[in-house]
Structure 1
């Protein structure tokens, strides 16, 4: 009798896992927009997955993510939520998706930074990895001026302040014009 109950519980758990990709989860951005995503997509976020597992999945508030950024994060989660990366071909296709995804984000550095912040908050490790790598690739061996230009960072130092910094830290500026 106990074995039958265990079998029934295991079957029910397996059915829940299979239907998880069709179950919808509602996310609420910090600007009060509601977005429905599949459970498989939502589970790409460890933070949201923990809330789902704890039974708190009615409406999941995301106080640190606005709807514009959430709209950029969801396609990544959708693709990775439905992807099956069992074969080399499937892994390569997912890699191409990631490259295209981050390439599109890279066109607007402010959005790229917003997605990094959201991926960190939501604990979406794969998204955090590819977006941070893009920033690292952009910075590479670029000069401070090129980095400011790439990320639209205002240079608020006067020429006198820059000169003082260069003199105080001459060792760090060896070979840099």
Structure 2
């Protein structure tokens, strides 16, 4: 139960981060501080991990602008907006960053889309269509060093490191959009 509660906070901070302008702006290129890693993962078969989380909601009236700013193609925007209109899924945001300092490339899959993200120390807001209670998959797609690729997500408690992944590993986030 504690792991589930902690995991629900893993991604919920995206709303706070976005509402506050995406973090403080300054001339220094500093890494976000990391909260100490939580024991929120469950090992599953075949290099998969499972975590629960809550995403920041983007209202339907703000969805077209959010999709344009996120770089979705016209066809993707049309598909996603039609799904939102049918209430098949909602739009959410998940700020992610390189929590391990090793860089790397991940694929984030949710609903009808798959986004490729080159991790940087600065959080990047990823706009995702997801089912009301659904799953988001994070996969390591670039070669990882001995420590793996450690993705971070901005949470209500601040930046949080997710489990490290090796190339071919998947992290399954069970999410609720509110």
Give the alignment's TM-score, normalised by structure 1: 0.24
Q: Which protein has the bigger strand share? A: 2
Looking at CA atoms only, which structure, 1 or 2, has the larger radius of gyration?
Answer: 1
Q: Which protein has the bigger helix share? A: 1
